[in-house]
């Protein structure tokens, strides 16, 4: 079947790396924060094997930065999230569920503290800029909220540390997970964090100035030639195996962080000022009645999920599957879904109503990569 193409225009914003991504033979894009995000280079499966064994450079410019800068920046950022930021120091990045007044998820960004009065909120696919600008304006806060010309470039895979050390020096090896340091590129000081949307180790370089995009891309590609570095992108199979959630797919504004399994990133009691605090404290008393789970779906490879697939047990719907792909390493279809508490225990057998028919499936409490035996 002919796959429809994506019409590219000014609204589907190009990135500082777009020409290089195109030259590398990108086969498909999605649109994320109104910007192009590559999804396939060779094939999803070939990209997956390469990511898990080598090193890839990813154009994740679409992880746009919302910059909060000014005397009220710290107060404003704590209003956005139930994660307690009071002990956050410069040099740290936090994965931060962000919620509205009902406790509904608005976004799940990585927040970086650049200074006591300056933060970057690296957003997932929702227009969080407008929510934050609205709050700052309505509350007359002393803070500038804007989208700077900063484009993350991720270097991911088991050989990422070697490649990044060759380009930016040995000191990058000591950057710990979700910490950052500054590196020099041709006299420009750039933030380099140990983070990224894969479970294969790696870094994210916050390319501060579009003109640096192509020089940095070329430098990494040349330095990594013998490491078999390639252009890559977040990989559907790998992220489902690691249960990395995708905002808009696996969760929406109708879900609380607890339903999303993000309770470990919430200290709601301590998060004084968080807009969703009262709502979350109220629902926390009872706990969620449905929650994110990994599912193994039996049988032949299923198509990718462009709509929710019902999870069925005893003739009744007990959940939904929101992401799915065939995993060569686990030799089964791996999936992420939201399952009601009656069926969310590890090992529970259910059915999934896929476009390829009803399939038997098993609910797993943890990510595939964390399962033992």
Interacting residues with ligand THG (CB under 6 A): 63, 95, 108-110, 122-124, 152, 178, 195-197, 204, 244-245
Nearer to ligand THG by Cβ, of 113 and 359: the residue is 113
Closest contact distance (angstroms) between CB of 195 and ligand THG is 6
Closest contact distance (angstroms) between CB of 243 and ligand THG is 7
Closest contact distance (angstroms) between CB of 41 and ligand THG is 18
Can you tell me which residue has the tokens 């990135």? 15
Chain centroid to Cα 341, Å, comes to 26
Nearer to ligand THG by Cβ, of 122 and 294: the residue is 122
CA dihedral for 159, 239, 34, 82, sign (positive or negative): negative
Nearer to ligand THG by Cβ, of 239 and 343: the residue is 239
Closest contact distance (angstroms) between CB of 161 and ligand THG is 17
Distance CA 2, CA 44 (A): 18
Distance CA 265, CA 242 (A): 17
Nearer to ligand THG by Cβ, of 204 and 238: the residue is 204
Show Cβ contacts of residue 366 under 8 Å, excluding neighbours closer than 6 positions: 243, 294, 346
Three-state SS for 216? helix
E strands in 211-369:
230-232, 290-297, 309-313, 316-327, 332-340, 349-354, 357-364
Nearer to ligand THG by Cβ, of 288 and 350: the residue is 288
Nearer to ligand THG by Cβ, of 122 and 354: the residue is 122
Chain centroid to Cα 140, Å, comes to 31
Closest contact distance (angstroms) between CB of 356 and ligand THG is 28
Show Cβ contacts of residue 129 under 8 Å, excluding neighbours closer than 6 positions: 64, 66, 123, 145, 147
Closest contact distance (angstroms) between CB of 199 and ligand THG is 7
Distance CA 243, CA 81 (A): 21
Closest contact distance (angstroms) between CB of 240 and ligand THG is 13
Nearer to ligand THG by Cβ, of 40 and 123: the residue is 123
């Amino acid at each position: 079947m002919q796959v429809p193409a994506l019409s590219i225009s000014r609204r589907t914003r190009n990135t500082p790396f777009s020409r290089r991504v195109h030259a590398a033979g990108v086969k498909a894009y999605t649109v994320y924060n109104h910007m192009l995000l590559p999804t396939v280079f060779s094939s999803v499966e070939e990209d997956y094997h390469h990511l898990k064994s080598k090193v890839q450079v990813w154009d994740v410019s679409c992880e746009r930065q919302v910059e909060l800068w000014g005397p009220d920046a710290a107060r404003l950022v704590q209003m956005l999230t139930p994660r307690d930021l009071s002990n956050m120091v410069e040099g740290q990045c936090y994965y931060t569920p962000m919620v509205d007044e009902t406790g509904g998820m608005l976004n799940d960004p990585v927040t970086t503290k650049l200074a006591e009065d300056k933060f970057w909120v690296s957003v997932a696919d929702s227009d969080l800029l407008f929510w934050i600008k609205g709050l700052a304006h309505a509350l007359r806060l002393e803070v500038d909220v804007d989208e700077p010309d900063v484009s993350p470039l991720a270097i991911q895979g088991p050989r990422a540390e070697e490649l990044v050390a060759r380009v930016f020096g040995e000191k990058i090896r000591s950057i710990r997970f979700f910490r950052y340091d500054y590196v020099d590129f041709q006299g420009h000081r750039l933030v380099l964090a140990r983070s990224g949307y894969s479970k294969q180790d790696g870094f994210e370089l916050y390319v501060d100035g579009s003109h640096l995009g192509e020089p940095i891309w070329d430098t990494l590609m040349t330095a990594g030639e013998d490491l078999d570095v390639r252009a890559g992108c977040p990989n559907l199979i790998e992220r489902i195996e690691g249960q990395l959630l995708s905002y808009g797919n696996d969760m929406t504004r109708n879900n609380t962080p607890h339903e999303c399994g993000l309770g470990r990133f919430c200290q709601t009691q301590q998060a004084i000022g968080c807009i969703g605090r009262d709502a979350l404290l109220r629902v926390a008393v009872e706990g969620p009645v449905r929650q994110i789970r990994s599912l193994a779906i039996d049988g032949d490879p299923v198509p990718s999920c462009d709509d929710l697939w019902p999870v069925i047990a005893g003739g009744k719907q007990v959940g939904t599957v929101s992401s799915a792909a065939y995993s060569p390493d686990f030799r089964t279809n791996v999936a992420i879904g939201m399952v009601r508490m009656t069926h969310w225990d590890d090992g529970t057998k259910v059915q999934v109503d896929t476009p390829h028919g009803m399939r038997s499936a098993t609910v797993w409490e943890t990510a595939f990569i964390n399962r033992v035996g």
